[in-house]
Structure 1
Amino acid sequence: MRFRRTLAIAALGALAIGCAPPQASNETPEQSGETTGELRVWLFQEASNAAKEAVVDEARAEFEKAHDGVTVNVEYLPVDGRATRFNGAFNDKASAPDVAEFGNTDLAGYTASNGFADLTADLDAWADSEDLVPDVLDTATVNGRTYGVPWFTGTRALYYRTDVFAELGLEPPTTLAELTETARAVRAAKPDLYGIAVGGKYQFALLPYIWANGGDVAEQDGDTWRSTIDSAEARQGLAQYAELISDDICPPAACAQLTGSQSVAAFAGGKAAMTIGGDFNRAAVDAGAVKGRYGVVPLPGRDNGSIAPAFAGGNLLGVFRSSTKHALALKFVRLLGGKKYQEKMYGAMGNMPTFTDVQDRVAAEDPFLEPFIETVQSGTRFVPSTPAWTKIDAAGVLPTAVQQVATGQLDVAAATGAAAAEMNEAFGS
Structure 2
Amino acid sequence: MRSLKTAAFSTAVLLAATACGGSGSEGGASEAPGSLTVWVMGTAQDPLQKYFDTVEQRYQEDYPDTSVEVEFVPWSDAQQSINNALAGGDAPDVLEVGNDQVANWASQGAIMDITSRTEQWGAVSDMDQAAVDYASYQESQYGVPWFTGVRTLYYRSDWLKGLDMEPPQTWDELVEVAKAIEEEQDVPGFAAPTDFTNGIASFIWSNGGEIAVQQEGEWQGRLTSAETREAIEFYAGLTTEENISPQAYVGENELVPLADMANGEVGMYIDGGWALTSMEEQAEDPAVLEDIQAAPIPGADGIAPAFVGGSVLTLFATTEHPDAAFDLLKTMSDKKGGKSYADAGGFFPAYPEMLDDETYQSDPLKAAAAEQLKHTEVLPATPNWNAADQDGKILPGAVLDIVKGKDPDTVLEEANKELTKTLNKPVA
Same fold (TM over 0.5): yes
Q: Cα deviations across residues 130-174 of structure 1 (Å, max 9, x unaligned)?
A: 321121222212232221121111101111111111222322212
Structure 1 counterpart of 2:236: 242
Structure 1 position 109, deviation (Å): 0.9
Partner of 2:163: 168
Q: Deviations over 1:344-380 (max 9, x none)?
A: 22332212111123333231343421221111123x1
Counterparts in 2 of 1:55-204, with a 5 A limit? 55-92=51-88, 95-190=90-185, 192-204=186-198
Cα deviations by residue, 1:354-410 (Å, 9 ceiling, x for unpaired): 1123333231343421221111123x11111222212111121111111111222x1
SS at match of 2:290: coil
Question: Once the 2 structures are TM-superposed, how far is the Cα of residue 65 of structure 1 from its aligned partner?
Answer: 4.8
Aligned: 1:354 with 2:350: yes
1:20 counterpart residue number = none
| Equivalent residue for 2:335, pick from 330, 336, 339 | 339
Q: Deviations over 1:263-294 (max 9, x none)?
A: 22221221111111212223334553431213
- If asked which structure has higher relative contact order (CA below 8 Å, sep 6+), I would say 1
Note if contact 2:293-2:364 (Cα within 8 Å) is conserved in structure 1.
no
After superposition, what is the alpha-carbon deviation per residue over 1:164-197, rounded to whole angstroms, capped at 9, x for unaligned? 112223222121222123212322343x311112
Give the letter aligned to residue 59 of structure 2: F
User: Which among 270, 278, 281 is matched to residue 284 of structure 1?
Assistant: 278
Q: CA RMSD in A?
A: 2.0
How far, CA to CA, are the matches of 1:105 and 1:230 in structure 2? 24
1:375 is matched with which residue? 372
How far apart, CA to CA, are the structure 1 residues paired with 2:128 and 2:420?
Answer: 31
- Structure 1 stretches of 5 or more lacking a match? 1-27
Calculate percent identity across the aligned residue pairs.
Answer: 29
- Match runs of 1:198-277 below 5 Å: 198-246=192-240, 248-252=243-247, 254-277=248-271
The within-5 A match list for 1:294-373 is: 294-303=292-301, 306-361=302-357, 362-373=359-370
CA contact (8 A) 2:181 2:189 kept: yes
* Deviation string, structure 1 residues 199-227 (Cα, Å, up to 9, x no partner): 11122111100111111111112222121
Look up the SS of the partner of 2:350 in the other structure: coil
State the partner residue of 1:391: 387
DSSP-derived class of the 2:194 partner: coil
- For residue 413 of structure 1, give the secondary structure of its aligned residue in structure 2: helix
Output the amino acid matched with 2:393.
G
2:31 pairs with 17, 31, 34, which one? 34
TM-score by length of 2: 0.86
Match of 2:373, SS state, is: helix
Q: Name the SS for the 1:185 alignment partner.
A: helix
User: What is the letter of the counterpart of residue 173 of structure 2?
Assistant: E
Secondary structure (helix, strand or coil) at the match of 2:47 reads helix
* Structure 1 residues 347 and 376: alpha-carbon distance in aligned structure 2, compared to 1, 3 A threshold: closer
Instruction: Tell me how far 1:295 sits from its aligned partner.
Output: 2.3
Displacement of 1:39 in angstroms is 1.2
Match of 1:210, SS state, is: helix
CA distance in 2, matches of 1:179, 1:280: 23
Contact 2:146/2:312, CA 8 A, preserved across alignment:
yes
Amino acid at match of 2:58: E
Following the alignment from structure 1 to structure 2, what is the Cα–Cα distance between the partners of residues 182 and 368? 20
Q: Quote how far apart the aligned CAs of 1:331 are.
A: 0.8
Structure 2 residues without counterparts, runs of 5 or longer: 1-24
Q: Counterpart of 1:180 in structure 2: which amino acid?
A: V
Change (3 A) 1:34 1:97: farther
Is the 8 Å Cα contact of residues 187 and 248 (structure 1) preserved in structure 2? no
> How far, CA to CA, are the matches of 1:336 and 1:202 in structure 2?
32
**1:165 and 1:364, CA in 2 relative to 1: closer, same or farther beyond 3 A?**
closer
Residue in structure 2 matched with residue 21 of structure 1 by the alignment: none
Matches of 2:265 and 2:352 in 1, distance apart? 35
Structure 2 contact 221–419 (Cα < 8 Å) conserved: yes
- Distance in structure 2 (CA, Å) of the matches to 1:45 and 1:286: 19
What is residue 7 of structure 2 aligned with on the other side?
Answer: none
Q: Which amino acid aligns with 1:335?
A: T
The secondary structure found in structure 2 opposite 1:243 is helix
**Contact 1:117/1:320, CA 8 A, preserved across alignment:** yes
Q: Distance in 2 between matches of 1:365 and 1:37?
A: 43
C-alpha separation between the residues in 1 aligned to 2:423 and 2:345? 37
Q: Tell me how far apart the structure 1 counterparts of residues 47 and 64 of structure 2 sit (CA, whole Å).
A: 27
User: What is the number of residues matched between the two proteins?
Assistant: 394
Secondary structure in 1 aligned to 2:175?
A: helix
Rounded to whole Å, the distance in 2 between the matches of 1:73 and 1:188 is 56
Whichever residue aligns with residue 116 of structure 2, its letter is A
Amino acid at match of 2:293: G
Shift of residue 242 of structure 1?
1.0
How far off its partner does 1:323 sit?
Answer: 1.7
Write the distance in 1 (CA, Å) between the matches of 2:332 and 2:412: 43
Distance 1:107 1:414 in 2: 33
Give the letter aligned to residue 136 of structure 1. A
Query: In 1, are the aligned partners of 2:170 and 2:300 still within 8 Å (CA)?
Result: yes
